[in-house]
Amino acid sequence: NAGVMQNPRHLVRRRGQEARLRCSPMKGHSHVYWYRQLPEEGLKFMVYLQKENIIDESGMPKERFSAEFPKEGPSILRIQQVVRGDSAAYFCASSLTMAHQETQYFGPGTRLLVL
């Protein structure tokens, strides 16, 4: 029973490039959440998506960041024109329903390094 998968696990980008982070939820899960963990900090909620819909993007920076969860395929977190401050670990979680926090299962994360 495959868990939440994220790829790539590590991503290096130069300033100004685009970063695309992918998240495949657990089988049957239609709710996806993205979190960011900056160095020495806890995870911070970014965006919550349900198939083809953004439910809550209150934690997403207003510029350069976007997320989607198409009908087919993984959820994508896209960061345009990356800056050094975007260097962080990005975690995706999925759940079967929009339910309790305990039912979210996290992926292993993508570590983004912006040079």
Partner 1 sequence: DQQVKQNSPSLSVQEGRISILNCDYTNSMFDYFLWYKKYPAEGPTFLISISSIKDKNEDGRFTVFLNKSAKHLSLHIVPSQPGDSAVYFCAASEDNYGQNFVFGPGTRLSVLP
Which residue ranges make up the site for partner 1 (CB under 8 A)? 4, 9, 31, 33, 40-45, 48, 55-56, 59, 91, 93, 95, 98-109
The tokens for 101 are: 């926090």
Comparing CB distances to partner 1, the nearer of 48 and 65 is 48
CB–CB of 3/19 below 8 Å? no
State how beta strands 5-7 and 53-56 pair: unpaired
Q: How far is the CB of 88 from partner 1 (least distance, A)?
A: 13
What's the CA gap between 46 and 77, in Å, rounded?
10
Q: How far is the CB of 16 from partner 1 (least distance, A)?
A: 28
Q: Dihedral of the CA atoms 34, 73, 69, 37 (nearest 10)?
A: 10
Q: How far is the CB of 43 from partner 1 (least distance, A)?
A: 4
Comparing CB distances to partner 1, the nearer of 17 and 37 is 37
Cα 15 from chain centroid (whole Å)? 20
Comparing CB distances to partner 1, the nearer of 18 and 52 is 52
What's the CA gap between 105 and 110, in Å, rounded?
15
Comparing CB distances to partner 1, the nearer of 17 and 22 is 22
Q: How far is the CB of 21 from partner 1 (least distance, A)?
A: 13
